Structure 1
Amino acid sequence: MRKQNGFSLIELLIVVSVLLIIAAIAIPNFLRSRLRANEASTVASLRVINTAAVTFSITYPDLGYPAQLTALGGANPCPGSSTQACLIDDVLAQGRKSGYSFVWTGDGAVPSVTFIVTAAPQVVGGSGQLMYCTDHTGVIYYDPSGSGCTNASQVLQ
């Protein structure tokens, strides 16, 4: 009888089963980590937007806060103006970053004295779970239901 080299079918099935069990444990943890990273990035982006909005209102006092989010951004090289202030990166100024969509709502006045920015996950449960918002006060709020965020929502600690 000849001696055969290699693994038996049973051995290969056991190895594949172990790998599938490890994947079943690891993949949900990875997805949850990515979701939390997107949410943390969104909170940081809202802080950046707040700082940029205050800087814009100080730099252009006759306008107050910008009428739209794109006014805070600008592509490089960027000289800086009231239509492209170059205060935030252009990706964020376009309203989409880290799986969230950002919507700027101004008060329509000139000079503008209030605004609210809402950040909603592009895929609820996939790119983020919470909806965030901030206003001219600089406070960041969140809504655990993801249905809508206002300054009456819960304050982020």
Structure 2
Amino acid sequence: MHRNLADRRSEQGFTLIELLIVMSIIIIIVTIALPNITRYRRQGNETSAVGSIRALVAAELQYSQTYPQNGYSCSIGALGGEKGTSPTPAAAGLIPPDLATGQKAGYTFAIVNCPKVTINNQDQYTGYQITAVPQAIGKTGDRGFCSDENQQIMVDPKGGTSCSVPLQ
């Protein structure tokens, strides 16, 4: 009976070698998986940025139809607005609050290059360009995205606003 109890005690737990082997396997798996995880995160951020560009283009179209005297909006904030308040040209409530801040999913959004005309002392924007650039190129995204009143999304493979390649 003593011998049986002694055998059980010696078989409990792992040896140091066994623990080192398991830790080595875990380290190898993490080393292989970590670059893929960051790549998938960048791809997810880019997909979100394209979706946000599409939402902004749709909001611009709706804004120009709702406020024809203003034309397009030249401000992301003007496309947003507070919940529970009546829409105005300065806060139309056409996009979600997180996008209205100009930052979402690792990208910074802006509306730039807005040509305007003045009709009856009222500025009317006749065009716009929406840009989306990664907040940290190579970390939050690799490519920049742009669109304008023609509604085609273009890509800058280097992550900036020199968009010259159509989105596939």
Task: State the TM bucket, normalised to the shorter chain.
Answer: over 0.9
Mapped partners of 2:100, 2:162: distance in 1: 20
Contact 2:71 2:126 in 1 (8 A): yes
Is residue 64–residue 113 contact of structure 1 (8 Å, CA) maintained in 2?
Answer: yes
Gap runs ≥5 in structure 1: none
Post-superposition Cα deviations, 1:127-155, rounded to whole Å, max 9, x if no partner, equal 000011111110110011224324xx101
Q: Which residues of structure 2 form unaligned runs of 5+?
A: 118-122
Alignment match, 2:148: 135
Spell out the pairing of 1:58-97 with structure 2 (5 A cutoff): 58-97=65-104
- After superposing the two structures, state which structure 1 stretch, 115-124 or 66-75, moved more: 66-75
Aligned residues: 155
Contact 2:141 2:159 in 1 (8 A): no
1:108, distance to aligned residue in structure 2 (A): 4.1
Question: How far apart, in 1, do the equivalents of 2:160 and 2:90 lie?
Answer: 32
Matched, 1:155 2:166: yes
Alignment of 1:1-157 (within 5 A): 2-3=6-7, 4=10, 5-105=12-112, 106-109=114-117, 110-150=123-163, 153-157=164-168
Q: 1:132 to 1:23 in 2, by over 3 A?
A: same
Matched residues in 1 for 2:74 and 2:49: separation?
Answer: 21
CA distance in 1, matches of 2:59, 2:161: 24
Q: In structure 2, the residue corresponding to 1:48 is in which secondary structure?
A: helix
Instruction: Please give the root-mean-square deviation of Cα atoms over the aligned residues, in Å.
Output: 1.4
Q: When the two structures are superposed, what TM-score results if normalisation uses the length of structure 2?
A: 0.87
Length-normalised TM-score, structure 1: 0.93
- Cα distance in structure 2, aligned partners of 1:117 and 1:67: 9
Q: Partner letter of residue 131 of structure 1?
A: G
